[in-house]
Amino acid sequence: METIRPKRTRRVVLVPYPYQGHMTPMLQLGSILHSKGFSIIIAHTKFNSPNPSNYPEFTFLPLSDNMEGFDTSLWNMLNVISTINTQCEASFHDYMVQLIDEEEVLGEVACIIYDSIMHFVDVVATHLKIPTMVLRTNTAAYMHSHITFFQLLEDKAIPLSSESRLQDIVPKLHPLRFKDLPLPATSETPQNILDFLHSYMDIRSSSAIIWNTIDILDHSKLHQLKQHWKVPFFPIGPFHKMSPPKSTSLMKEDTSCLSWLDKQAPDSVIYVSLGSLAIIDQKELDEMAWGLAKSEQPFLWVVRPSLLNGSDQANEFLPKDFVKVTKGRGCIVSWAPQKKVLEHTSVGGFLSHCGWNSTLESICEGVPMICRPCFSDQMVTARYLSHVWRVGIELEGCIEEAVRKVMVGEEGKEMRQRAVNMKRELEDSVKGGGSSHESLEGLVEFIDLIE
């Protein structure tokens, strides 16, 4: 009797960087490509590993990372990156050899798509002659700001001689100011950070770049970066609108806030979350709490356990009487199902760190933003939200005033209308004939033909 072999299909290996802002778009990209007929393999660190039960259609390969007991806080990020790249290479190599050996039965490994922070992937892929592509999890505007930053360093235009110039517009980088650059413009940048940024910008042997962005948001910078990298670009965002609504969260979501939102009036709630990594001090925690209290607006506030200087229980340090003063008007959770929150009709504004996933999720639901950027790409995104797309305001000082401006002020109404218009444009981009839809079709064809 003839043996029935499983159907052979082209396999794509995805290698995410193991933090929420990078893991989420990689898993979403996996779902998008799976819907196009590819078999998806996720090679991931054991640290912050995704939940395989959320993606039974994927194959998950845990990489040995030696991260147990390691300091994985924001302040130790360069050491985290170095350790991951050193420790994961051997097990990734072994997995890839095994996948190649299985090709006759299970299908060819078409390519590897990886986050460029995980640069060990290129070493293995080059050795085994497997094509690669890079996934950019942020905007083209942010990546372009790096190129400009290095040019400013070369021209000795930075560091600035005075902090008074931080508000000045960077030449050829409008609307960004010196204070919006990815690194401080008033001090020398340590060499190890410069080395990391050079590495992050390097696409190495990759044959294309996939972007979780949209042409209408990033058109001019995408065009400029094409001249820089000279490989095909595939801007197919927003990923979360192109993929099934599955949880990508690395932390347990408190869904009880959704029933609380059900009881609130339309567009009345200000949602507050500074993402999965940002930390603030006690002074800002107090200012945020009393600003929300004095605004007299209903609020849903994500107080992540490590939000306060990396502590274990930030909610225990909220100001005395704050919870009592805001009883019935406020809901505090340690982590929220953010996409569902922003989709909710009662949410009318988002006080955010302006991480790119959060930004896309907000503007895709027509929710205007209060921008409180913390690090990395967030300053660039905040500036674009407030001065290019004009669907957000920068938080400068008084939280109470900012919340009132967005939630009940005339400026907030105008922003909300622009946000609703932008939502429609982004919806059109993922439909047939839209820029992201067409770019995805091009990506699928590119992978099918890649050698």
User: What is the CATH number for 445?
Assistant: 3.40.50.2000
Same-domain pairing of 355 and 209 = no
Distance CA 378, CA 415 (A): 20
Question: Which amino acid would we find at residue 189?
Answer: T
pLDDT (tens digit per residue) in 92-102: 999 999 999 99
Q: For residue 164, is it within any domain?
A: yes
Q: Is the pLDDT of residue 358 over 60?
A: yes
Question: 33-37, 298-302, 342-346, 395-399: lowest mean pLDDT where?
Answer: 395-399
Residue 177 per-residue DSSP state: B
Q: Is the pLDDT of residue 308 over 70?
A: yes
Same-domain pairing of 301 and 437 = no
pLDDT at position 212 = 98
pLDDT (tens digit per residue) in 197-213: 999 999 999 999 999 99
Same-domain pairing of 213 and 355 = no
- Mean pLDDT, residues 3-12 taken together: 63
Kindly indicate the confidence band of residue 1, based on its pLDDT and cuts at 50, 70 and 90: very low
Kindly indicate the confidence band of residue 175, based on its pLDDT and cuts at 50, 70 and 90: very high
Residue in 158, 172, 170 with CA at minimum distance from that of residue 221: 172
Same-domain pairing of 268 and 343 = yes
Same-domain pairing of 169 and 309 = no
Q: For residue 197, is it within any domain?
A: no
Element (H, E) at 446: helix 435-449
pTM of the complete model:
0.95
pLDDT at position 8 = 52
Question: Residues 335, 342, 400, CA angle at the centre, nearest 5°?
Answer: 80
Q: Cβ of 178: how many Cβ atoms within 10 Å?
A: 21
pLDDT (tens digit per residue) in 132-166: 999 999 999 999 999 999 999 999 999 999 999 99
b vs e for 185-195, b when ≥16 Cβ sit within 10 Å of the residue's Cβ? beeebeeeeee
In this structure, which long-range contacts are made by residues 1-10, counting pairs with CB atoms below 8 Å and at least 24 apart in sequence? Answer: 5/105, 6/105, 6/106, 8/105, 8/106, 8/107, 8/108, 9/37, 9/38, 9/39, 9/106, 9/107, 10/37, 10/38, 10/39, 10/107, 10/108, 10/110, 10/447, 10/448
pLDDT at position 9 = 81
Q: Which residues are bridge partners to 113 per DSSP? A: 14, 133
Q: Is the pLDDT of residue 103 over 80?
A: yes
Question: 7-21, 102-116, 342-356: lowest mean pLDDT where?
Answer: 7-21
pLDDT at position 6 = 45
Q: For residue 245, is it within any domain?
A: no
Q: For residue 292, is it within any domain?
A: yes
Q: Please state, rounded to an integer, the average pLDDT across all residues of the chain.
A: 94
Question: Which amino acid would we find at residue 272?
Answer: V
Q: Is the pLDDT of residue 2 over 80?
A: no
Q: For residue 246, is it within any domain?
A: no
- Mean pLDDT, residues 417-440 taken together: 97
Kindly indicate the confidence band of residue 309, based on its pLDDT and cuts at 50, 70 and 90: confident
Q: Which residues are bridge partners to 299 per DSSP? A: 270, 330
Same-domain pairing of 300 and 173 = no
Same-domain pairing of 174 and 229 = no
Q: Is the pLDDT of residue 128 over 90?
A: yes
- Mean pLDDT, residues 240-247 taken together: 92
Q: For residue 397, is it within any domain?
A: yes
User: Which residue range forms the structural domain that includes residue 99?
Assistant: 11-137+203-237+430-449
Q: Number of folded domains in the chain?
A: 3
pLDDT at position 397 = 82
Kindly indicate the confidence band of residue 287, based on its pLDDT and cuts at 50, 70 and 90: very high
Q: Is the pLDDT of residue 369 over 90?
A: yes
Same-domain pairing of 30 and 170 = no
Question: 30-39, 102-111, 332-341: lowest mean pLDDT where?
Answer: 102-111
Q: Is the pLDDT of residue 392 over 60?
A: yes
- Mean pLDDT, residues 301-324 taken together: 88
Question: Residues 343, 348, 349, CA angle at the centre, nearest 5°?
Answer: 100
- Mean pLDDT, residues 161-184 taken together: 93
Same-domain pairing of 66 and 162 = no
Same-domain pairing of 262 and 392 = yes
Q: For residue 198, is it within any domain?
A: no
Length of the chain in residues, anyone? Answer: 451
Q: For residue 1, is it within any domain?
A: no
Same-domain pairing of 173 and 41 = no
Q: Is the pLDDT of residue 3 over 70?
A: no
Same-domain pairing of 178 and 285 = no
